[in-house]
Chains A and B, each alone.
Chain A
Amino acid sequence: AQSVSQHNHHVILSEAASLELGCNYSYGGTVNLFWYVQYPGQHLQLLLKYFSGDPLVKGIKGFEAEFIKSKFSFNLRKPSVQWSDTAEYFCAAKIGGTSYGKLTFGQGTILTVHP
C-alpha cells in the first residue's frame, strides 16, 4: 500500500535559518506529490505540488520542494524562515498520475521558529 513518511516530528529553528523537511513515499508508479501547511487554528492550505516536468517546484511564501525519483523523496525547503512560518507541515501523495485520486498524508512536522 502507498505510504508517506515524514522523518521529523518537530523542528525548531531560529529566524533566518534554512529549512529542510524530509518526505519519502513508497510507491513504484507515477505519483503526484504535495506539501500542505496548517497554521495554528487554521485549515490546511496547499503550499506546492508536483505533477510532472521540472522536479524543482516553487510554491507560495518562498517554499520550494525537489522531487528526486531515485530516492522516492520530495523534501521541502526554504532558505530563510520567518517566525510566521511556525505551523505544521504535511507531505501528501496521490498515486496514478492524475489529480483525481485520494491523498495519503505523512505524519506531519511541526515547525517552531523562534524570533
Chain B
Amino acid sequence: GAVVSQHPSWVICKSGTSVKIECRSLDFQATTMFWYRQFPKQSLMLMATSNEGSKATYEQGVEKDKFLINHASLTLSTLTVTSAHPEDSSFYICSARDRQNAGGGPYYEQYFGPGTRLTVT
C-alpha cells in the first residue's frame, strides 16, 4: 500500500520558537494532504487541507498565521508551528490523498503518516 512519512517523529522545543514538520508521500503523488491534531484520549481533529500549488484551507478555529502550511510539491507538505507555546503540545498527523482509477471512476484513498509528537517547554 501507499506510504506516508513524517519527520520528525518527535520534537521538543522551547516556547516562542518555531517548529517545522514534514509530510511526504513516498510512492504516490498527492495533490491534497490533510493535517490533523490529536489530543490525548480525543479524536483526530482536522486542522487544514493542504493543496499543492495553492493556499491551504483551514478549519474553523485554526489560526492560519500560527500553523503555516506549505504544499510546494506533489509529495511534500510542511506544517510550521510558529511561536510555539505549551498549549500547542500535541500529536500532529498528516494524511495524503491518493487518486486511484476504479471501474466506476476515480476513487480517493487517504493514507496516514505515523504522526509527530510535539512538546513545547
Q: Give residues in A with beta carbon < 8 Å to B.
A: 4, 9, 36, 41-46, 90, 98-100, 102-108
Task: Report whether A90 and B43 are in contact in the complex, using a CB–CB cutoff of 8 Å.
Answer: yes
Q: Give residues in B with beta carbon < 8 Å to A.
A: 4, 34, 36, 41-46, 49, 93, 95, 106-110, 112-115
Task: Report whether B41 and A103 are in contact in the complex, using a CB–CB cutoff of 8 Å.
Answer: no
Task: Report whether B112 and A107 are in contact in the complex, using a CB–CB cutoff of 8 Å.
Answer: no
Given the interface pairs A44-B93, A99-B107, A100-B108, the reply to whether A108 lies near B114 with Cβ below 8 Å is no
Task: Report whether B42 and A107 are in contact in the complex, using a CB–CB cutoff of 8 Å.
Answer: yes
Residues in B with CB closer than 8 Å to A100 are 108
Given the interface pairs A9-B41, A107-B42, A107-B43, the reply to whether A43 lies near B112 with Cβ below 8 Å is yes
Partner pick for B43 among A42, A43, A46, A108, CB 8 A cutoff: A108
Partner pick for A43 among B34, B109, B113, CB 8 A cutoff: B113
Residues in B with CB closer than 8 Å to A107 are 41-43
- Cα-based distance from A45 to B93 in the complex (angstroms): 13
Residues in B with CB closer than 8 Å to A46 are 109
Q: Name A91's closest neighbour in chain B (CB-CB).
A: B43
Task: Report whether B110 and A103 are in contact in the complex, using a CB–CB cutoff of 8 Å.
Answer: yes
